[in-house]
């Protein structure tokens, strides 16, 4: 890459980005540093960095929350399918009961994540409903959630409840990610 090194200051942003990523992929930190050093320096006027970082973190956490909840919803649906496939026929009762037990646990964890989100969002000053809006979930998604919640309640014979320990655990994780210097 040495012949290119002389051209680093004339690269456009996309070329510089691609070379930097290639250097990082091959663990060539010295080359990555040279690419960075050849990048033109500019002065900007922008929003306060602390304010901007809070906004960015809020939207990242909204995406994290929605993805997490929908992953659990997907696995819940797989558990429901397992229950329906096994039905209560002789020899499959244990499989049915295991799927029902898994479904109830999954719903409980998802509900804990939802409750933790509401608590965290309230404390952080983020309207809890922003998560759905941030990712552009259509109204139909909320209707689908209500539909599946009704099906699950019918199948399980009761409404699942969130485990308080899980609520606290997920709220603490969200707070850790939110705190300055946290994992985001």
**pLDDT(127) > 60:** yes
Q: From the CA atom positions of the chain, what is the Rg in Å? A: 24
> pTM of the prediction?
0.70
What whole-number distance in Å separates Cα of residue 100 and Cα of residue 81?
Answer: 10
Name every residue whose Cβ is closer than 8 Å to that of residue 102 and which is 6 or more positions away in sequence: 79, 82
pLDDT in tens, 63-111: 999 998 889 888 888 888 887 777 656 667 777 888 888 888 888 898 9
pLDDT in tens, 28-44: 999 999 999 989 899 98
């Amino acid at each position: 890459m040495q012949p290119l090194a002389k051209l680093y200051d004339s690269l456009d942003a996309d070329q510089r980005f691609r070379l930097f990523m290639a250097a990082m992929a091959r663990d060539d930190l010295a080359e990555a540093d040279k690419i960075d050093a050849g990048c033109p320096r500019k002065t900007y006027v922008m929003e306060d960095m602390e304010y901007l970082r809070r906004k960015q973190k809020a939207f990242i956490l909204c995406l994290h929350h929605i993805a997490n909840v929908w992953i659990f919803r997907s696995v819940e649906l797989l558990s429901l399918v397992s229950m329906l496939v096994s039905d209560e026929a002789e020899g499959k009762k244990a499989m049915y009961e295991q799927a029902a037990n898994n479904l109830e646990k999954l719903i409980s964890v998802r509900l804990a994540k939802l409750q933790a989100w509401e608590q965290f969002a309230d404390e952080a000053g983020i309207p809890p409903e922003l998560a759905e809006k941030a990712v552009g979930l259509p109204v139909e998604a909320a209707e689908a959630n209500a539909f599946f919640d009704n099906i699950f309640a019918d199948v399980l014979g009761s409404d699942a409840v969130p485990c308080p320990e899980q609520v606290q655990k997920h709220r603490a994780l969200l707070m850790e990610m939110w705190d300055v210097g946290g994992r985001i």
